[in-house]
Structure 1
Amino acid sequence: MDGRRTTVRDMRRSNRSVILTSIYREGPLSRFELGHRTSLSAASVSNLVGELLEEGVVEEAGSVESDGGRPRVLLRVAPRFGYVVGAEVGETRVRVELFDLAMNVLSTMVYPIETPKPEPALAVKLVLAGLAEVLREARVAPDRVLGLGVAVAGIVEGPGDAVVHAQTLGWDAVPFGALLAAKTDIPIQVDNGANTLGQAEMWFGAGRGATDAVVALVGSGIGAALVTGGSSYRGTRSSAGEWGHTTIMYGGRQCRCGAQGCLEAYVGAEGVLERFQAENGGTAAPGADEEEAFTALLDSAGTSKVAAKVVEDTIGYLGAGFANLVNLFNPERIVLGGWAGLLLGERYLPQLREAVGKHALRQPYAQVSIELCSLGRDAVALGAATLPILRLLREGGVPPTRTLAARTH
């Protein structure tokens, strides 16, 4: 009997999840549309929607005319049912943002990082400081927050304790999730930054509607989110997508990971600026930080032969890297994002597409579209905030259980 009750309970939660996910991803929707999209009976849809309305997870959002009958009431996920926080731990800054469930930004904090290899303790300190500040600024109580999603570089093993392996940062099996959870009772989820960017673009941006896609992040480093059959592909232990550490040139430039010839060493912003400095007689591109220097390099490509050659080579290397993705995965869409990727793509997207065509097989190249991320340069934090939302959808609208943290601050 217990087993039967468990099965019924799980089935109900699964059906709630299907309905809630449809409303969130495709809504506002009427009960009639939900029945068609979920294949659930009208009675089941009505009962489950009634539960979600009563609990405040879902709310009415107007109505539309129906053919010959009464107007159909539209449903949406209630934006203020709860709040989510997304944080990006980058190499030059930590960004923390507070969102409602409609993904409206309510508050943002940005903390510069002076060292390209921040210690885990510093990253934890800045994320938690940002968390406290965005809640204070927006006047949101911590118990209204459904979760904190954090995006980091490197391989993330989890999702439980979220152990991070980031060679380029010098992090070796860092229990980053546990370090954060020890200081707050807000539920923590950690993922790779390319994966969070990918989820944001697949849900809300340029990847929407695609079932087989690659979302490429090009910043100081490089990564990619792989989507196949509509689901994220992560490999055996979540390390799939380390596209920046595929070899583009045998015996080539030293990469930050320790290997030689990685794509990241040629296309990542740090590698591009190093190549320019080496070819410019030791003179670096001007700028107070990496983003300013990268922008200055692109701006000078029209007047400096050295800059023009470095940019041309960078587009060529990136095109070859995209061609490898085309030949290996046969995606219908490649989406280019990350702050450096967007700076390049906004100026050189036609040349990039041409470079991909020179290296990719004709048939899969003819089947792929190459687009820019539509959510902007700061979409990694937004993507991190979708982690607790995804958990809420999977649980059918039931918020996670809080556990008291061992506070040390």
Structure 2
Amino acid sequence: MSDRNQRTVRDLRRTSRSAVLRRLFFEGPVSREELRSGTGLSSGSISNVVSELVAEGLVEDAGSVESDGGRPRTLLRVAPASGYLIGVDVGETRVRVELFDMALNEIARTERPLVARGYDVDRIVDHIGQGVGAVLRDADVFARQLFGVGVGVPGIVDRGSPDGAVVHCQTIGWDAVPLEALLRRRVELPADVAFFIDNGANTLGRAEMWFGAGRGAKDAVIALIGSGVGACVITDGAPYGGANSSAGEWGHTTLQIGGRRCRCGARGCLEAYVGAEALLDRWARPRGAGGAGGGGGAGGAEVREQDDESGLTALLAAADAQDPSAVEVLDETALYLGVGIANLVNLFNPERILLCGWAGLLLGPRLLPEVRRVAVTHALRHPAERTTIKLGRLGPDAVTLGAATLPLADFFTRGGSRAGARRPRAVTPATAPMTLPAG
């Protein structure tokens, strides 16, 4: 009985600390009185929790404000230098690693290019390890000061393995890659610094929901358009992963039976029509040739001498100059994307759909009016009238920012304690709500 009571007291203490830390992070600086009203904790509990967190260096004074008829009120905030977080984006052309403080201010960053789109697993792990070491050195931060490393990757992340997160991604040739185990074994970090691995669209979604255009929404879809296509589905403020964490593979929903071949090997996927790689391939091909042929094949090489981003910029410039083939490809893309978004409206009934990713943000200003029109035309009228479709607010760094929120959310859930020694088990990203706390 005493052991049960001890666990209960410990759990209550952790819950109280968690509530205070979340409030300070999202709403701070705030006073003790505002903490009491915002968390529902008693004045005594607030006093005890704040004293603990201050003594541990996790919370600090942030000035004071005048009080109505009384003494000035001291404001509190999460201490930015109390620890550090790392966010990693395993992207389409490079691995980006960023170091953040506990207020998610960027401290240092580095990038490692992926030569010839190489997704060799050993190379990726080496890039991550080298990047982690580089940002720590650049910022003069010790590895023991880290609270965790979040990693955004392409594909499906399976957390059912006893050795940690395993990644499946047909489009880059990853079949059951034990990424977490490889990172634990080969990246030199203290045993209590955990890795948190999730799909890159989900980490981008976290960033937009916490800090971007998704703030305040309970049900949303964050659509990532890059060379590939993905989505993060938010239901009641939390990410929806499905039975095996593979929900959100919107790019591999079928748009046309027997259509263009997708990078995943299937035909007619949405990604084969609106992903930047496939879009540029369509522009490079003679009109009417190879309509059911390969997306992202060698046919796009003539217009992609450097990379997809420069190619897409050239396509937009050609359309602005009224090049007929460029205008036609972009008009088709707006149609395909609009239909894909209509499917999201009918399936998930979200409050908001955000078009994100580097290609989505590049194409959005030109395509969004037509995409909205097509989506409304093809979706059911009642949910379509109640869904807003707009661009994301964050830039191309959103995946790394969102990846850093994974260890931060775990930090909140644990009430400011560390994740504990790394053991051969799955480390599940924290399921803290993606929406900001009310009031």
**Paired residue type of 1:53:** V
Among 367, 371, 375, which residue is 2:394 paired with?
375
Mean alpha-carbon deviation: is it higher for 274-283 or for 326-335? 274-283
Tell me how far apart the structure 2 counterparts of residues 202 and 273 of structure 1 sit (CA, whole Å).
30
- Alignment map for 1:7-406 (pairs within 5 Å): 7-158=8-159, 161-183=164-186, 184-185=188-189, 186-279=193-286, 284-302=302-320, 303-403=322-422
- SS at 2:115 equivalent: coil
Q: Runs (4+) of structure 1 moved beyond 4 Å?
A: 280-283, 402-405
Q: Give RMSD over aligned pairs.
A: 1.7
Cα separation, partners in 2 of 1:66 and 1:330, compared to 1, 3 Å:
farther
- Secondary structure of the residue aligned to 1:247 is coil
Amino acid at match of 2:309: E
SS at match of 1:182: helix
| Residue identity (%) | 54
SS in 2 for 1:236: coil
**Paired residues, what number?**
405
Q: Which moved more, 1:67-76 or 1:98-107?
A: 67-76
CA shift, 1:286, in A, is: 4.5
For residues 117 and 249 of structure 1, do their structure 2 counterparts lie closer, same or farther at Cα, with a shift above 3 Å needed?
A: farther
| SS in structure 2 of the partner of residue 80 of structure 1 | helix
2 CA distance for matches of 1:366 and 1:403? 48
Contact between 2:334 and 2:368, CA under 8 Å: does it hold in 1?
A: no
Q: 1:351: Cα distance to partner?
A: 2.3
- Bigger drift between 361-370 and 200-209 goes to 361-370
Is the 1:79–1:100 contact (alpha carbons within 8 Å) kept by the matching residues of 2? yes
Q: What residue identity is the alignment partner of 1:229?
A: D
Residue 348 of structure 1 and its aligned partner are, at CA, apart by: 2.6
The answer as to whether partners of 1:117 and 1:170 remain within 8 angstroms in 2 is: no
- 1:189-215 CA-to-partner distances (Å, cap 9, x unmatched) read 111000000001111111111111111
Contact 2:280–2:304 (8 Å) recurs in 1 = no
Question: Once the 2 structures are TM-superposed, how far is the Cα of residue 402 of structure 1 from its aligned partner?
Answer: 4.3
Deviations 1:329-364 (A, max 9, x none): 111111111100100113332222222212112221
- Distance in 2, Cα, partners of 1:274 & 1:201: 30
Tell me if structure 1 keeps the 8 A contact 2:89–2:399. yes
**Residue identity in the other structure for 1:299:** A
Residues 105-126 of structure 1: CA deviation (Å, up to 9, x unaligned) = 1111112112334111111011
Distance 2:357 2:304 in 1: 21
Which letter maps to 1:170?
Answer: G
Query: Aligned partners of 1:148 and 1:68: how far apart in 2?
Result: 46
Q: Distance in 2 between matches of 1:191 and 1:294?
A: 27
Distance (Å, rounded) in 2 between the aligned partners of 1:61 and 1:287: 51
Aligned-partner Cα distance in 2 for 1:307–1:112: 29
Moved more, 294-303 or 4-13: 294-303
Q: Deviations over 1:269-290 (max 9, x none)?
A: 1111111112368573244112
Deviation string 1:314-340 (CA, Å, 9 cap, x unpaired) is 111111111111111111111111100
Residue 377 of structure 2 aligns to which amino acid in structure 1? K
Give the secondary-structure state (helix, strand or coil) at the position aligned to 1:33. helix
Q: What SS class does the counterpart of residue 374 from structure 2 fall into?
A: helix
Instruction: Give 1:403 shift.
Output: 4.8
| Greater Cα offset, 169-178 or 43-52 | 43-52
Q: Which runs of 5+ in 2 are unaligned?
A: 290-298, 425-439
Q: Which secondary structure does the structure 2 equivalent of 1:377 belong to?
A: coil
**What residue number does 2:427 align with?**
none
Secondary structure at 2:382 match in 1? helix
Distance 1:119 1:286 in 2: 22
Amino acid at match of 1:301: A
CA contact (8 A) 1:149 1:386 kept: yes
Change (3 A) 1:304 1:135: same
Q: When the two structures are superposed, what TM-score results if normalisation uses the length of structure 1? A: 0.95
Is the partner of 1:234 in helix, strand or coil? coil
Q: Which runs of 5+ in 1 are unaligned?
A: none
- The question of whether the paired residues in 2 share the 8 Å contact of 1:286 and 1:296 is answered with no
